[in-house]
Structure 1
Amino acid sequence: MKFRRSQLVLALAAGLCLSAGALAQNTTASAPVTSGSARPASASKYKLNAAQLAEAQARVQLANTIAQNVAADAKAKSLGDDWRTNLLGTLYNTPSSALSGMSTSISTLDQALSQANAAQQQAAAAKVSASTSAAGHASSAEDTTEALGSSSYDLVFTPMTPCRWIDTRVTGGAIGSTARVYDTYYGGGTYGGSSSCVLPGAGEPAIAVNVTIASPTAAGFLTVRSYGSTGITSWVNWYQFGANVQAANAGVISTAVNSSTSHYDFEVLTGGGGTAQVILDYFGYFSAAPATALNCTTGTQQNYSVAANFSGYHFIDTTCPSGYTAVATFCWNENNANIVSNGSGLIAFPWCGWRNLSTTTAYEVHENVSCCQVP
């Protein structure tokens, strides 16, 4: 029997998450607050590489610039405080290439929303077109990676209806120079926010938030950083205002896994002296793009007669439907012809091994392949 070599390049998507910042909280935590099905206690999510982190940071900076540019228009329209978080949720899901042009040309909220939505639709259409093209001629990773999810471009942002997760005025009290750790596994009810304000799973590697400080006792700044970090950076700065002011800033917090809980945590602390109340609202999170699910089927079943006293292997010469490629072999029988082994995973050498213990009777056996394609 002959055999045919087949090759399939299956590019699976990896999406990204992103940016910088971090806060800290105390570690007193009650039972986790969940909504819906139970969430896993362990964290096994995607970790950003340097290129992905840089892309996320660029997207956040551009989005904040656009929000700043349209603030006067929002004020003139007498909009509520949530216009900013709603706009940022849209902008964070818009390609950086589009945001770059918008950051220098947009002055009204309506323009920002309209152009961001149009850019998202164009990006989605381009991805579908590229993926469809790649599925028909998959021959290299370069052919399909961009269509399915780039490791340096595609941030996957999931917007949330803005919700309050931390309010130290309710729980925990004002934050000072000692880092306070916050565990993103828990719902907002643990930290003075809403019990329904919950992230999926054991939290996320990066979260989009609006952070507000209130009632500072002295001029200073707020540091928000990944769990375990020793860096001191300014997320909100109120040096120019002094004490007893309120200031806010939106951005993305990059979290880190707490080895003792396997949850994603971050830290918050103040600098410059004094304490401040901290209010934090979620409006989305970044996470890895799910792997592209393959379309799979089976090939044409091949029946083969194993001769009496036969011991050896047999090359499979079966075919997959048009557009599919064999990715594994499988063999079975209904009598005493034993399967010795098979060539699953050895796509360039598909075979089944057989042993017929009968000295007089040949038995029919069956061989086939699993066939898959990128949708």
Structure 2
Amino acid sequence: MDKHAWLFVLALGSMAALPSAQATEPGGTHAPEVAADLGPDRDAAMARILERWVPFIRETGKTDLTEWHLEMKGLIGKADLSALQRASERVTYAGMKANLQGRIISDEDAIGLAAERSVELGLTDEQTKALGDIDRDLVFVPLAPCRILDTRIAGGQIAANTSRAIDVTAVGNYAFQGGDSTDCSGASAAGSFAAALLTISVPGAASNGCLSAYAFNATQPVTHTLDFPLGIPISTTVSVQLDQSALSNELSIYASAQTHVVIDIVGYFINPAEPVLTCVNTAQTTLPISAGNTGNAVAPTCASGDIETATLCEATSWDMPLVFINAGTCSAKNNSGSSATLRAARRCCRVGW
């Protein structure tokens, strides 16, 4: 997505938690976890930000992921809960980032700032304001070639200077159009999708002519999808936008001269799946610390594929304050008169599809 080259996903990275100290009363079980305002509200805000911006990461190429990851790690780690929640409600990149930095800015003002920035990036106003489009920001699903139309078997030739409506999806199979008797590897049941990659063939017409393939119920384009000569089979493979409304047909084929038409689907374009954020805590590392001494408890690492989002520390004594919480390490000094235990764990998250 070139027009969004400067937009990138808010990937949840390892965040430095703010130092804090919580513990149980002497004789209690264990202290509440502490980690920079952590809790369901903070997790939910981070998840909303992730869901809003993650679709862009796969389509941008002008921003270095490592640099962006480090920048956002710092912003999230320093942001308090209210700033994080405000950022999660923004629909512009500039507004989200400004809120993480502690500035309160409306989306309209953010759009203005982004437009100024777009001059440097060579983007148009419309490109700057666009945050994604259900007709353009799509995922391609390839298929083995499968026939969805053959007018030689069903329907007969398309008459000169007429259009024929074609079903592409939401059908049981394609036999009624002279096509395959299966669902073409799920294409017929994929729901409404924005476009299809089609191989369109003319098996040999009685005169020269042209075809135009376009979305059903749309204005017929002046351009040609395929020009065909007299008596010579010819084909082309092309992506065609489809109608996504509740209408029964998705595609129209116009023929300037009477001809049979054969169509094979070789793939389709759908809206990207929404990401699912899953977070778990690792097991705890426990470290006994004798009276008057200090200690560092290092939490188990996250599982492969997970990203650390927080360090969780616990102390079993109110007299053992936590002095350092970062990157899975919890440090404390036991100021009590007896031994106490320091515990460390990590919060680990991954994005599924």
Instruction: Tell me the TM-score normalised to structure 2 length.
Output: 0.44
Q: Which has the higher contact order (CA 8 A, sep 6+)?
A: 1
TM-score, scaled to structure 1: 0.42
